[in-house]
Structure 1
Amino acid sequence: MPTLILSPRQTEDAQLLWRAAIRAGWAIERAFGWKSPAKPEDDFTIYGEPVFVQAIAESCDVKVVVPTDDWLATLPLRWSGRNVKLMSLEDARLIGVSRFIKPCSDKEFAAGLYGKGRSLPDEQLLPNDLPVLVQEPVSWETEFRCFVVNRQVKTCSVYARGGELAQAEDGAWPASEQEVTQAVRICEAVCADADVALPVAVVVDVGLIAGRGWAVVECNAVTSSGIYGCDPAKVLEVLKHGLAL
């Protein structure tokens, strides 16, 4: 029987996954600390904040399945839809034009538009060699989250419209059947491309760029990604593969 290890932090997503795990016959554990209640040989997975997930994974000698830092930067232009470069924070500070800049792994600083690199944290706050993604600014009309395992899209949900969360007042994440179908088709095409390297389990965000068309927003680890309006039971199917020995 698989075990779902959750962080002490109570979130709506964690509650949805907790209920889905109960229905699926999984065991659930809450780790109150930085040590896993599971052993490496056990059938388990983890969901929570990135720091928590990493700490629990390390405590039982397993690894979190994550995309490489340069994943988006090496994605073919036909899928990224805009110029994306991987560089050090030091080099990013020297950029002379406005760019959308975000740290590759954690959230060491807020992702956003930085003009001429001068607004980025200085070397007294963050190391010069911190890897960052520097992207051509674009306007996303809609954005969708896809949970993917073995290059198959298991569930998909809209999460943003015009840069704002797309959640309705009743808590739903409304999108037309046509929109969801288009998003899934784009993600499936990306996953089917032999030129695109993908971890076994991952979250791929896709969206519609104003004036350009559909493209990949980013790719993240499933163990810490919000589920929005995705089917929690399907998310569990992907989350089950979120760790590796």
Structure 2
Amino acid sequence: MPRRTLHLPPWPTPTVTALAAAATARGMRVHTFRDRRVPEEHRRDPGAGLYAGPAFADVVAPDLGLGLLEAPEGWLPALPYELTGRRIELMPLAQARQLRVPAFMKPPNDKSFPARVYPDGSRLPGRDAVEDDVPVLVSDIVTFTAEFRLYVLDGEVVTGSRYAVRGVRDVVPLAADPRAAGVREFAARLFAPGVPALPRAVVVDVGTVDEGLGGEGWAVVEANAAWASGHYACDADRALDVVLRAARAVTAPEDVPFLRPYPSVVR
């Protein structure tokens, strides 16, 4: 079996540093790109893994020979209301620009424009900046009282972290939050039979929602690609397991529906 190599982008981040340390402790090789060119010795490497943002990954992953797993663009709006706590629609950017009510709007799987509450669709980027057919998730505005990041492998939460309280960054390991058991119980509902499927290796954000009169309910925030997600206070070694499964050269048939599309994907 080939020795595994974790490929990393040129810029350091806390997650890049943590994953590099975890990979080194396992005896893996760690390769940091100098630019977006894949050295010849790393092309089509059967032992390659990757952690990088979407724009960088789209350039280097084909030459590395990697398939990248991510949630389908329509996953979040396909969920039942009892899991989302809000109405969510997927529509082209051109349609979203016509909305004249406040809404939270974001691209499903990239950062082509900022994810935030927009007073109306006229405040979205114009067609000179972002093309009309770019998909947009449009949702009701809700208040998340606490938000949690979960690394999930084969439907099991392997590590987690709280990352925000009432929209303010507040990072602690999942086990340090009194709602940890509730987080895991709610996350299990996302992988129950009949719920729209996610990749076998994925990051899911969930949170508590303010329901008024001091009450809170659980809701999904979003799903993210493990190979591009910050780990906050998650255990880096357990997070690495999910990252390596979400970006690798060998793709199982059940992974094909979740492959990020680009030429030269290994199947």
Query: Which category of TM-score, normalised to the shorter sequence, fits these structures?
Result: over 0.9
- Residue-by-residue CA offset, 1:23-51 (whole Å, 9 max, x unaligned): 12211111222233434352221012221
Q: How does 1:94-173 map to 2 (within 5 A)?
A: 94-167=98-171
Task: Determine the structure 2 residue equivalent to 1:36.
Answer: 38
What runs of 5+ residues in structure 1 fail to find an aligned partner? none
- Say yes or no: does 1:183 pair with 2:187: no
Task: Determine the structure 2 residue equivalent to 1:68.
Answer: 72
Distance in 1, matches of 2:44 and 2:152, equals 24
Distance in 1, matches of 2:195 and 2:175, equals 30
What runs of 5+ residues in structure 2 fail to find an aligned partner? 252-265
Distance in 1, matches of 2:134 and 2:174, equals 38
Do the aligned partners of 1:21 and 1:236 also contact (CA within 8 Å) in 2?
Answer: yes
What is the Cα-based RMSD across aligned positions, in Å?
1.7
- Residue-by-residue CA offset, 1:158-205 (whole Å, 9 max, x unaligned): 0111011113xxxx5586443122112211221234322111211000
Do the aligned partners of 1:65 and 1:242 also contact (CA within 8 Å) in 2?
Answer: yes
Give SS of 2:245's match: coil
One-letter amino acid matched to 2:27: G
How far off is 1:150 after superposition? 1.2
One-letter amino acid matched to 2:204: V
Percent identical residues: 33
Do the aligned partners of 1:142 and 1:207 also contact (CA within 8 Å) in 2?
Answer: yes
Give SS of 2:122's match: coil
Distance in 2, matches of 1:3 and 1:94, equals 47
Match of 1:16 among 11, 15, 18: 18
One-letter amino acid matched to 1:204: V
One-letter amino acid matched to 2:23: A
- Residue-by-residue CA offset, 1:41-82 (whole Å, 9 max, x unaligned): 522210122211221112233321111111111122221111
TM-score, normalised to structure 2, is: 0.85
Distance in 2, matches of 1:116 and 1:30, equals 41
Distance in 2, matches of 1:154 and 1:4, equals 20
Query: Runs in 1 of length 4+ with deviation above 3 angstroms?
Result: 172-177
Give SS of 2:181's match: helix
Distance in 2, matches of 1:148 and 1:58, equals 25
Distance in 2, matches of 1:52 and 1:130, equals 19
How far off is 1:96 after superposition? 2.2
Task: Determine the structure 2 residue equivalent to 1:225.
Answer: 229
Do the aligned partners of 1:156 and 1:184 also contact (CA within 8 Å) in 2?
Answer: no
Distance in 2, matches of 1:16 and 1:54, equals 22
TM-score, normalised to structure 1, is: 0.92
Do the aligned partners of 1:157 and 1:180 also contact (CA within 8 Å) in 2?
Answer: no
Task: Determine the structure 1 residue equivalent to 2:7.
Answer: 5
Distance in 1, matches of 2:79 and 2:233, equals 26
Do the aligned partners of 2:92 and 2:136 also contact (CA within 8 Å) in 1?
Answer: yes
How far off is 1:139 after superposition? 0.2
Give SS of 2:164's match: strand
Task: Determine the structure 1 residue equivalent to 2:259.
Answer: none
After TM superposition, the structure 1 stretch with the greater mean CA deviation from structure 2, 64-73 or 29-38, is 29-38
